[in-house]
């Protein structure tokens, strides 16, 4: 089976690569010629564990290719996956301009029956919207063709909603070991085609949820919004622990032992970030308002997550004092470990607040410094953790990279102006750090 993936961002690149590893012939298309040129020369535009060797393997074996030629890719493919961005508008709603443009292009280049699968995260009703755009353009195109070729028939197609549930930093694993595959369609024919595409996962008893497109679209938003809510809840508990002297790790452990709750996503910190949770929570609030419903609990989650950044800055100010002229060392810029993605990163938000307060920033991240320098060129980028600590008034751990879990704390203490360690990811035991002579503060831990 031949597949076309439109868009080579996180979702498109991982999806296309993994499908090619399933034995399918995949063409990944992007309008960014520099990105495609880089991919064809072995330059991968994102950092994602295990992705590069998988791309190299499948390109070498002839199952994976990259191009800017959308027309050729559509014409030769049986199934077309849409994996373009849906960035937020100013009001939080999803911007569908790229989706709409792709739908028009698909209609222009279709040459026979196609299955069009939406992988992008989109509002409820987008599958129907894509179908209407393609149908309208295909009919217009077919009408023009029939004037010169009276025997021609309008081209047929089907639309599927197939949301992704990939975590940055473990996307390849998540694709090949999914909790579920959601397929939204009303066509039995399409159902069989999608089962064939996902056959390696179907054969290992991966749960498949077959539903209509509207339900599939809502499932994606519901999952991400619930996880964001869970993170926000444990952050609120941690903030309360700071005030009453309780240990949030013990609270979270006890909560996680309840089978109805589970321990996942009960890790307090500076708030969720990344390309999904912030965008999707705001989008679901916007969708709800469009249908005349106020999603009060989710609006509170969004506001509380934004406040969490400010509370973390409050910790720094409480221990360091007036921030004007103070040097703050920041370990971690990516929104989470194992990625170079800084979108909606708590660390970046905290740095921006600190800069407004007059602080000077030194920082280090194993993967995200190049991306950060594009938006924050005037802060100091260091070679490692120890250079970051040297001469700083305090050291802040903002991202949970594994290499930050085993720092030479005595060396760090000697390099800092004042031995202040603010651990926003709770990587260290408070008693141990304090016993070394540090002024230490975590999130919900004493």
Within this chain, do residues 257 and 376 fall inside the same structural domain, yes or no?
yes
Q: Is the pLDDT of residue 145 over 90?
A: no
Q: Domain containing 370: what range? A: 241-441
What does the alpha-carbon distance between residue 233 and residue 384 come to, in Å, rounded to a whole number?
A: 33
**80: DSSP letter:** E
pLDDT, one tens digit per residue, over 60-75 is 999 999 999 999 999 9
Instruction: Please report whether residue 175 resides in a domain.
Output: yes
| pLDDT one-digit tens code per residue, 390-445 | 999 999 999 999 999 999 999 999 999 999 999 999 999 999 999 999 999 999 99
Q: Do residue 294 and residue 204 come from a single domain?
A: no
Task: Please write the tens of the pLDDT for every residue from 375-392.
Answer: 999 999 999 999 999 999
pLDDT at 103 over 60: yes
Burial 254-263 (b: 16+ CB within 10 A, else e): ebeeeeeeee
pLDDT at 205: 85
In a domain, 217, yes or no: no
Percent of the chain with pLDDT over 90: 93
**What angle in degrees, to the nearest 10, is found between the helix axes of 346-356 and 296-320?**
50
Burial 111-134 (b: 16+ CB within 10 A, else e): eeebbbbbbbbbbbebbebbbebb
pLDDT in tens, 154-190: 689 999 999 999 999 999 999 999 999 999 999 999 9
**What's the confidence (pLDDT) of residue 245?**
94
For residue 360, list its beta bridge partners. 327
421 and 330 inside one domain: yes
Give ∠ CA 445-408-413 in degrees, rounded to 5.
75
The confidence score (pLDDT) of residue 334 equals: 98
The arithmetic mean of pLDDT across residues 23-44, rounded, is 96
Cα–Cα distances (Å) from 407 to 330, 362, 398, 422, 427, in that order, read: 14, 17, 14, 14, 10
Query: Which phi and psi (to 5°) does residue 100 adopt?
Result: -65, -40
What's the CA gap between 138 and 73, in Å, rounded? Answer: 18
Residue where one domain finishes, among candidates 211, 231, 261: 211
Instruction: List strands edge to edge, sheet with 114-118.
Output: 64-67, 25-29, 2-6, 79-82, 114-118, 157-161, 181-184, 208-211
- Whole-model pTM? 0.91
pLDDT at 151 over 80: no
Residue 150 has pLDDT above 60, yes or no: no
Q: What is the pLDDT of residue 141?
A: 74
Indicate if 390 and 268 belong to the same structural domain: yes
Is the same domain home to 127 and 178?
yes
Which pLDDT score, from 0 to 100, does residue 138 have? 87
- Residue 63 CB neighbours (<10 A): 20
Residues 39 and 163 in one domain: yes
Please check the confidence at residue 200 and state whether its pLDDT lies above 80: yes
> With left for phi above 0 and alpha for psi between -120 and 50, is residue 28 left, alpha or beta?
beta
pLDDT of 140 reads 82
Say what the pLDDT of residue 144 is: 57
Q: Helical H runs in 61-198? A: 70-76, 97-109, 126-148, 171-176, 188-197
In this structure, is residue 221 part of a structural domain?
no
Instruction: Examine the domain organization and report whether 100 and 60 are in the same domain.
Output: yes
C-alpha 325/C-alpha 303 separation (Å) is 30
Asked if residue 200 and residue 279 are part of one domain, the reply reads no
What pLDDT is recorded for position 153? 61
Domain boundary among 172, 195, 211: 211
Q: Is the model's pLDDT at 288 over the cut of 60?
A: yes
Cβ–Cβ under 8 Å, residues 377 and 396: no
Q: Ramachandran region of residue 262, left (φ > 0), alpha (ψ -120 to 50) or beta?
A: left
How many domains would you assign to the chain?
2
Task: Tell whether the model's pLDDT for residue 250 goes beyond 90.
Answer: yes
Report how far apart, in Å, the C-alpha atoms of 86 and of each of 94, 208, 397, 410, 431 are: 6, 25, 31, 46, 45
- What is the 8-class DSSP label of residue 155? P
What integer best gives the mean pLDDT of the chain?
95
pLDDT tens-place string over residues 207-222: 999 999 999 999 999 9
Contact of 86 with 121, CB cutoff 8 Å: yes
226 found inside a domain: no
pLDDT computed for residue 147 by the predictor: 53
Q: What percent of the chain has pLDDT over 70?
A: 97
* Residues labelled as active-site residues: 276
Does residue 363 sit in the same domain as residue 424? yes
Q: Are residues 365 and 319 part of one domain? A: yes
pLDDT of residue 203: 79
**Does some domain include residue 267?**
yes
Last residue of a domain, one of 211, 229, 255: 211
Instruction: Examine residue 228 and state whether it is found in any structural domain, yes or no.
Output: no
Average of pLDDT values for 248-263? 97
Mean pLDDT confidence for 221-229:
97
- pLDDT tens by residue, 230-244: 999 999 999 999 999
Q: Indicate if the pLDDT at residue 149 is higher than 60.
A: no
CATH of the domain at 142: 3.40.50.720
- Check pLDDT > 90 for residue 304: yes
Domain co-membership, 100 together with 140: yes
User: Are 180 and 261 found together in one domain?
Assistant: no
């Amino acid at each position: 089976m031949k597949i076309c993936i439109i868009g080579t961002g996180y979702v498109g690149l991982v999806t296309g690569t993994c499908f090619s590893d399933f034995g399918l012939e995949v063409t990944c298309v992007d309008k960014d010629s520099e990105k495609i040129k880089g991919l064809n020369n072995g330059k991968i535009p994102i950092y994602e564990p295990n992705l590069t060797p998988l791309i190299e393997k499948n390109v070498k074996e002839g199952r994976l290719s990259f191009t800017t030629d959308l027309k050729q890719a559509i014409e030769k493919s049986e199934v077309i996956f849409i994996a373009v961005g849906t960035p937020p508008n100013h009001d939080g709603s999803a911007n569908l301009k790229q989706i709409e443009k792709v739908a028009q292009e698909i209609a222009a280049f279709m040459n026979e029956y196609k299955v069009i699968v939406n992988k992008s995260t989109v509002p409820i009703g987008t599958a129907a919207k894509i179908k209407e755009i393609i149908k309208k353009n295909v009919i217009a195109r077919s009408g023009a063709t029939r004037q010169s070729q009276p025997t021609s028939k309008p081209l047929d197609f089907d639309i599927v909603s197939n949301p992704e549930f990939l975590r940055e930093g473990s996307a390849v694993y998540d694709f090949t070991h999914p909790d579920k595959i959601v397929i939204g369609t009303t066509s039995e024919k399409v159902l069989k085609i999608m089962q064939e595409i996902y056959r390696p996962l179907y054969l290992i008893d991966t749960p498949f949820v077959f539903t209509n497109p509207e339900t599939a679209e809502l499932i994606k938003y519901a999952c991400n919004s619930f996880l964001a809510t869970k993170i926000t809840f444990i952050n609120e508990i941690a903030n309360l622990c700071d005030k009453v002297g309780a240990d949030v790790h013990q609270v979270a452990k006890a909560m996680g032992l309840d089978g109805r709750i589970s321990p996942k996503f009960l890790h307090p910190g500076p708030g969720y970030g990344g390309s999904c949770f912030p965008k999707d929570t705001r989008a679901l609030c916007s969708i709800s308002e469009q249908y005349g419903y106020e999603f009060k609990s989710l609006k509170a989650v969004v506001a509380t997550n934004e406040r969490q950044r400010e509370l973390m800055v409050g910790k720094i100010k409480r221990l360091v004092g007036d921030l004007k002229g103070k040097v703050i060392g920041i370990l971690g810029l990516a929104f989470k470990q194992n990625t170079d993605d800084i979108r909606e990163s708590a660390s970046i938000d905290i740095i921006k607040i600190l800069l407004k307060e007059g602080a000077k920033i030194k920082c280090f991240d194993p993967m995200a410094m190049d991306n950060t320098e594009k938006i924050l060129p005037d802060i100091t980028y260091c070679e490692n953790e120890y250079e970051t600590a040297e001469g700083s008034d305090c050291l802040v751990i903002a991202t949970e990279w594994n290499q930050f879990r085993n720092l030479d704390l005595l060396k760090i203490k000697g390099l800092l102006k004042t031995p202040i360690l603010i651990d926003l990811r709770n990587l260290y035991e408070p008693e141990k750090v304090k016993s070394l002579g540090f002024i230490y503060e975590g999130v919900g831990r004493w």
